[in-house]
């Protein structure tokens, strides 16, 4: 099938490479020349395991990147994978998506046969139906459901395992009232489903329902982690190891074993943004989202728990403190809403001198949060050297292997926000929820 994708961000590029690998011919449109060039040269514009190999094979052949919307005319279906950043009040800003819808519509005015447009960007119910679809139809001077068929198809890829998630999805959700769009999307995903190891449920539903499934999914997961974090803090107060509790909890099928790792909280782009958007969407309809408010509040308060544990052992004013990990989770250089940001801010409030180490995320942190002040170390050992305390924010595997490096600390106080450090003689060890 000939498919086009507008947007070469983290979702667009991953989906483009994976669909090409599944045998489709993919045209990837983006306004950024450097990204277009990278893809056509067979290079990955982002850090994502497996993506570089896929683009080395398909970039410039199976996936052709371009800045020219006209190239869409040779395709049967267009996926819109554009960012929907947060507004001040947590609601989503759809202006980038709407601008792309306009350009797409203007292009489609030149197309004779019917075209399917699929919104992958996460949007609250109503945005596609009331704004995106009419914008495309008006710009194309075409009729919805006749010339242009619209669908939603939310993405559930996790950063750090996006390629793997695309190949073995838990489910594929297709939202559309159009039979033609539904059929074309089935054809698009046929090879993916055939190649997947396990059975992949294919959910056909309405455009609004599909988007709500995405929000509900992230809200549930964020709530699950916030709940285990709250239980964890209570466990700790009673001298209980929350990880022992979580292990037994996980054997209950109704609860499940995943997403029960308590710690310093969740970050990234999706959980914070999607919970905020859902909260704003609820308020917009006069609904008080009290559980979601608590989910966010619990997350916001976890860094304070980490610092309170530190305060029990040492006054860090004027002292060197090591921060281990800056990315919002291991396996990515993404620092968006990383718990490292509030942790470092709270350390600075206490007058500490911060030396941080992360294997890949220093650059991203400096670019995104220039106001967060720290000195970067080249290794965990270097960060620990002369430190009066160490705070662990991200569970990078290499932290589990740290051992003699702790001997380099001025005072061996380790407060672990992720249960990754191996305890050893000679260190004073505190876990946030154990
Ligand atoms: C998430 C969703 O999982 C994905 O389906 C959606 O498409 C995008 O948002 P991602 O943000 O990449 O993916 O990260 P994820 O692996 O889900 O982790 C989210 C946050 O929760 C991380 O900060 C992680 O450290 C934290 N987390 C996760 C925990 O603190 N404990 C856990 O047990 C699991």
Residue ranges of the chain with pLDDT lower than 50? none
Nearest ligand 1 atom to alpha carbon 157 = 7
Quick one: which atom of ligand 1 is closest to the CA of 161?
A: 12
Nearest Cα neighbor of 324 from 384, 265, 392, 370 is: 392
- Residue where the block lists tokens 């709500």: 212
Which residues on adjacent β-strands are paired with residue 151? Answer: 118
Domain boundaries, the chain: 2-205, 217-434
Contact indicator for 161, 15 with CB cutoff of 8 Å: no
Considering only CA atoms, which residue is closest to atom 32 of ligand 1?
259
Q: Say what the pLDDT of residue 188 is.
A: 98
Measured in degrees and rounded to the nearest 5, phi and psi for residue 202 equal: -110, 115
Question: Catalytic residue among 80, 270, 365, 380, which?
Answer: 270
CA of 277 to the centre of ligand 1 (A): 17
Q: What is the pTM of this model?
A: 0.96
CA distance 132 to 232: 43
Predicted pLDDT at 47: 84
Query: Is 116 within 8 Å of 147 (Cβ atoms)?
Result: no
229 Cα nearest atom in ligand 1 = 30
d(CA 195, CA 211): 26
**Antiparallel, parallel or unpaired: β 413-416 and 202-205:** unpaired
Q: What is the per-residue pLDDT across 136-184, written as a single tens digit (0 to 9) for each?
A: 999 999 999 999 999 999 999 999 999 999 999 999 999 999 999 999 9
Residue 183 CA, ligand 1 centroid: distance in Å:
32
User: Beta partners for 2?
Assistant: 25
Encoded tokens for 279: 């909260």
Burial of 367 (0-12, 13-18, 19+ CB in 10 A): exposed
**b/e burial code for range 315-345 (CB count within 10 A of at least 16 → b):** ebeebbbbbbbbbbbbbbbbbbbbbbbbbbb
Instruction: Decide: residue 217, CB within 10 A, 0-12 exposed, 13-18 middle, 19+ buried.
Output: middle
- Label residue 180 exposed, middle or buried (CB < 10 Å: 0-12, 13-18, 19+): middle
Dihedral of alpha carbons 205, 207, 211, 216, sign: negative
CA of 338, closest atom in ligand 1:
23
CA dihedral 40, 120, 366, 265 (to 10 degrees): -140
CA–CA distance, 230 with 243 (Å, rounded to integer): 13
State the pLDDT at residue 311.
Answer: 98
Q: With contact defined as beta carbons under 8 Å apart, do 389 and 414 qualify?
A: yes
The CA 172 to ligand 1 mean position distance, Å, reads 19
217-434, what's its fold? Answer: Rossmann fold (3.40.50)
Q: Compute and round to an integer the Cα radius of gyration of the chain.
A: 23
CA-proximal residue: ligand 1, atom 13 (nearest):
158
Show Cβ contacts of residue 254 under 8 Å, excluding neighbours closer than 6 positions.
none
Q: Angle 310-394-242 (CA atoms, 0-180°, nearest 5)?
A: 65
Q: Given this chain, do its domains 2-205 and 217-434 carry the same CATH topology?
A: yes
CATH code of domain 2-205:
3.40.50.720
Q: Which residue's CA is the nearest one to ligand 1's atom 15?
A: 158
| ipTM here | 0.95
18 is catalytic: no
Give the whole-angstrom CA distance, residue 373 versus residue 184.
Answer: 50
Residue 129 CA to residue 339 CA, distance in Å, equals 36
Closest residue to atom 28 of ligand 1, CA basis: 259
Burial of 202 (0-12, 13-18, 19+ CB in 10 A): middle
pLDDT of residue 145: 96
């Amino acid at each position: 099938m000939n498919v086009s994708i507008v947007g070469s961000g983290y979702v667009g590029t991953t989906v483009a490479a994976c669909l090409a690998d599944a045998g489709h011919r993919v045209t990837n449109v983006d306004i950024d020349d450097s990204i277009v060039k990278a893809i056509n040269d067979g290079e990955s514009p982002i850090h994502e395991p497996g993506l570089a190999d896929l683009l080395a094979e398909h970039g410039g052949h199976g996936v052709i990147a371009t800045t020219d919307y006209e190239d869409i005319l040779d395709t049967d279906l267009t996926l819109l994978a554009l960012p929907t950043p947060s507004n001040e009040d947590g609601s989503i800003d759809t202006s980038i998506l709407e601008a792309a819808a306009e350009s797409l519509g203007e292009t489609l005015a030149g197309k004779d046969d019917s075209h399917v447009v699929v919104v992958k960007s996460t949007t609250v119910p109503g945005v596609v139906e009331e704004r995106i679809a009419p914008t495309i139809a008006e710009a194309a001077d075409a009729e919805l459901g006749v010339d242009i068929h619209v669908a939603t198809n939310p993405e559930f890829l996790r950063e750090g395992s996006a390629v793997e998630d695309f190949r073995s999805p838990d489910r594929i959700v297709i939202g559309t009232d159009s039979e033609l769009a539904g059929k074309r999307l089935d054809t698009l995903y046929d090879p993916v489903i055939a190649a997947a190891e396990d059975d992949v449920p294919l959910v056909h539903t309405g455009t609004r329902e599909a988007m709500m499934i995405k929000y509900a999914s992230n809200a549930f997961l964020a709530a699950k982690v916030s709940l285990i974090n709250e239980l964890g803090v209570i466990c700790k107060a009673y001298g209980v190891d929350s990880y022992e509790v979580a292990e037994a909890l996980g054997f209950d099928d109704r609860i499940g074993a995943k997403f029960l790792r308590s710690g310093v909280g969740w970050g990234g782009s999706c959980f914070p943004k999607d919970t905020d958007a859902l909260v704003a969407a609820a308020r917009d309809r006069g609904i008080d989202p009290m559980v979601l408010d608590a989910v966010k509040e619990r997350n916001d308060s976890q860094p304070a728990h980490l610092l309170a544990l530190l305060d029990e052992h040492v006054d860090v004013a004027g002292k060197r403190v090591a921060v281990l990990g800056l990315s919002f989770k291991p396996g990515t250089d993404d620092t968006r809403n990383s718990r490292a940001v509030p942790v470092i801010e709270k350390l600075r409030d206490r007058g500490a001198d911060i030396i941080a180490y992360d294997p890949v995320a220093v650059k991203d942190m400096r670019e995104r949060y220039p106001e967060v002040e720290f000195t970067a170390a080249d290794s965990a050992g270097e960060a620990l050297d002369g430190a009066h305390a160490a705070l662990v924010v991200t569970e990078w595997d290499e932290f589990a292997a740290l051992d003699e490096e702790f001997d380099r600390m001025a005072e061996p106080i380790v407060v672990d926000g992720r249960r990754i450090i191996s305890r050893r003689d000679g260190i004073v060890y505190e876990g946030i929820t154990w």
